[in-house]
Structure 1
Amino acid sequence: LQGLEPELFLKLVTNEMDNMTADGRDEPQTDFIYCHGAITEVLKFGSCRLHSGHKVLFLIIPGNRVLWASTTPSCRHFIVCLVYYYPVWAVSHAGHCVPPDSMDMIEDDHKLSFLRKHVPRETSLVLVGHSIGCYIILEMMKKDPELKVIKAALLFPTIERMAKTPQGKVMTPVLCHLRYVAYLPVFLLSLLPEGLKTVLVKLVFAAIHSLDNTVIHPTVSLLSGDCAANALYMGGQEMQIVLERDNETIKKNIEKLLFYYGATDHWCPVQYYHEIKRDFPSGHFRLCENGFRHAFVLDAGREVASMAAKWICGDLRT
């Protein structure tokens, strides 16, 4: 992939994507597991079990499901872009999925617990985070410095001062003080038939002309009362916990980190991009030139995945 022109790369990805969709190869294996006592959904593209031959695992850490409708489309795009060189997995946050009836929620999720139990210690990791997933990646690297992380791509990273961002100023009162008020309409929506939920979701997304229709079903599943409540709770925690940027962890891992900031991201203003670039002049920072929204999976998942995959793989080969 190294040296391939972006336009040719995207054309290759698009053609392969169409071929995969046509013959059903783009469907992941979905596993529900208990991780650190919590129900966790794991999407697996490529190899579903790791063995000694798997030297590298691409692991996607999603944003809050309220902000990012689904990890599935991005996983699908990433596995196509990587041309089956590497397995690509995504691990959910606790409570952000509708588990089988036989499983009950017990306690909070923990990504490090997942890695220790399900990924061989000798496996090298390429971490891909979106939004709050970027903050979680930095926390993982801070808490376990021995993790074999060779690269971490942080897309639209909400890693500092979330409550002070334009969107944070609007959402903090809702998520931190009025969250329980929102539970009633969410509960009432959860009682609606699936068909009606689907219609409502399509109406909400009607203004997005290039909508990726694969996000419809996972968004409908979010209208489960428990999923929505847990996502709202997590959003409130983000406003209270994501405060100052973790400069120490960034400094220790600067050669491994790839940052991609949005030019019109109300969760992470351009000011944050200029400040972190100033503070870490040797870092690898990019500012979006394509107008992608924070929730890019809604209409630009393919473009962002192809860009990020080429960026990461090119970096791995240098």
Structure 2
Amino acid sequence: MKNIFKVINSIQTHLITWGDPFDCSGQDVIICVTGNPGVTDFYIEFGTALHENTGLPVCVIGHAGHEEVPDKKSNMLQGQENLFNLEGQIEHKLDFIYNYVDKRSNMHLIGHSIGSWMILEALQKHSNLINRISSINLLFPTIQHMAETKNGIFLNNFIRNFHTIALLVFTLAYMLPNYIKSLLIKIYLKFNSLPLHYEERIQKYCNPRVGEKVLFLAYDEMDKVTSLNNYIIEKIKHMTNIIYSNHDGWVPVKYMEDLKCYQPYLQMKVVNIDHAFVLKSAEIIAEMVSDYIKLKLNK
């Protein structure tokens, strides 16, 4: 596993790789686009299991601005809003694919939450890429009517209306002495039965410069993620697997109904796993995804 930084769509970006997806002699490559927040470290167990299960090079890419990076300009929202909204994040992923991924390789795309929507929109904008796609896995995908979901209503009606207070909370948390911050995070992890080594990952998220861009993207999601993109789903249904949760505040199971017309070409299943699967169920989901990837590899 390697942690590397690349300038993608003008923003320095943290990537995590297993194997070498940038120069692998044309071997198939797995690319995972994270949810929001796009803190790549939370996907370490998931990426590791994918690599071990498939033997393929893997790259986890988060979202521009969702991790503080050495390049100071890349951390600034003001004056660069177009690089951090949904459209900017789609261009971010396209720039990565076109300019970094081995051009000889076919790709297995994985999108988690809003990462699923970004994949669909990227393929709509550049449909020629479909010829390089071997499989697509959409995990707990926020691809329709986000603002109408339980969590979307809370974000729009509460967090968005008290945006200044939300940013203040990020700032105050960031300013706490490290030992107090560490203690509070450990209590949270203990209470939620999560591993203590997640502390460093949560510390990254508590940065107010990260938090403002996480919220900036989330509000854009509420406004832009509306109707299902039936046009592109029709084109990729034969290579797509979708996993839903039976208790997801972002993606109600009823949203599956709009996709059933694409079966049996489109594969779907419901699991008893949280939307933020990377926290407790990364290996389980990785096994399901790996099975689908290997199925497509053998065809």
TM-score, normalised on structure 2?
0.88
Tell me the distance in 1 between the aligned counterparts of 2:38 and 2:128: 32
1:80, distance to aligned residue in structure 2 (A):
2.0
Report the counterpart of residue 86 of structure 2 in structure 1: none
Secondary structure, aligned partner of 1:50: coil
CA spacing shift, 1:137–1:213, aligned 2, 3 Å? farther
Larger mean Cα displacement after TM superposition, 258-267 or 186-195: 186-195
Structure with the bigger percentage of helix:
2
Match of 2:288 in 1: 307
Q: Tell me the secondary structure at the aligned position of residue 206 of structure 1.
A: helix
Q: Does 1:72 align with 2:44?
A: yes
Indicate if the aligned counterparts of 2:151 and 2:249 stay in contact, CA closer than 8 A. Answer: yes
Q: Deviations over 1:221-264 (max 9, x none)?
A: 11111111111111111111100000001001111211111111
Deviation at 1:214, TM superposition (A): 4.4
Residue 75 of structure 2 is aligned to residue 92 of structure 1: no
Q: Distance in 2 between matches of 1:121 and 1:176?
A: 41
| SS of residue in 1 equivalent to 2:42 | coil
SS at match of 2:3: strand
Percent sequence identity is 25
Residues 217 and 73 of structure 1: CA distance in aligned 2, closer, same or farther (over 3 Å): farther
Paired AA for residue 47 in structure 1: D
Aligned with residue 151 of structure 1, among 123, 126, 135: 135
Q: Distance in 1 between matches of 2:118 and 2:285?
A: 20
TM, length-normalised to structure 1: 0.83
* 8 Å CA contact retained: 1:29, 1:43: yes
Distance across 1 between alignment mates of 2:20 and 2:41:
24
1:212-291 aligned within 5 A? 212-277=195-260, 279-289=261-271, 291=272
| Secondary structure at the counterpart of residue 98 of structure 2 | helix
Partners of 1:128 and 1:187 in 2: CA distance: 33
The residue aligned with 1:189 is 173
- Write out aligned runs for 1:27-106 (5 A): 28-47=1-20, 49-51=22-24, 53-65=25-37, 70-82=42-54, 85-100=55-70, 104-105=74-75
Do the aligned partners of 1:208 and 1:299 also contact (CA within 8 Å) in 2?
no
CA contact (8 A) 1:259 1:285 kept: yes
Alignment match of 2:96 (pick from 114, 126, 131):
114
**Aligned mates of 1:317, 1:213 — CA distance in 2:** 39
Q: Take 2:179 and 2:148, find their aligned partners in 1: how far apart are those partners? A: 38
- Cα shift at 1:46: 1.6
Q: Deviations over 1:56-81 (max 9, x none)?
A: 11000000017997222221222222
Gaps of 5+ in 1: 1-27
SS in 2 for 1:97: coil
Do the aligned residues in 1 keep the contact of 2:8 with 2:96 (CA within 8 Å)? yes
CA distance in 2, matches of 1:306, 1:221: 28
The one-letter code matched in structure 1 to 2:264 is S
**Deviation at 1:177?**
2.8
- The 3 A distance-change label for structure 1 pair 119 and 59 is same
- Per-residue CA deviations over 1:9-40 (Å, capped at 9, x if unaligned) read xxxxxxxxxxxxxxxxxxx2111222111121
Q: Structure 2: which 5+ runs fail to align? A: 84-88
**Equivalent residues of 1:183, 1:229 under 8 A apart:** yes
Cα 1:117/1:69, change in 2 over 3 Å: closer
Asked if 2 retains the 8 angstrom alpha-carbon contact of 1:70 and 1:297, the reply is yes
Q: In the TM superposition, what whole-angstrom CA distance separates every residue of 1:131-150 from its partner, at most 9, and x where no partner exists?
A: 00000110111111111111
Residue correspondences, number: 285
Where 1:254 maps in the other structure, the secondary structure is helix
Offset of residue 275 of structure 1? 2.7
Return closer, same or farther for 1:120/1:45 CA change in 2, 3 Å cut-off: closer
8 Å Cα contact 1:125/1:149 also seen in 2? yes
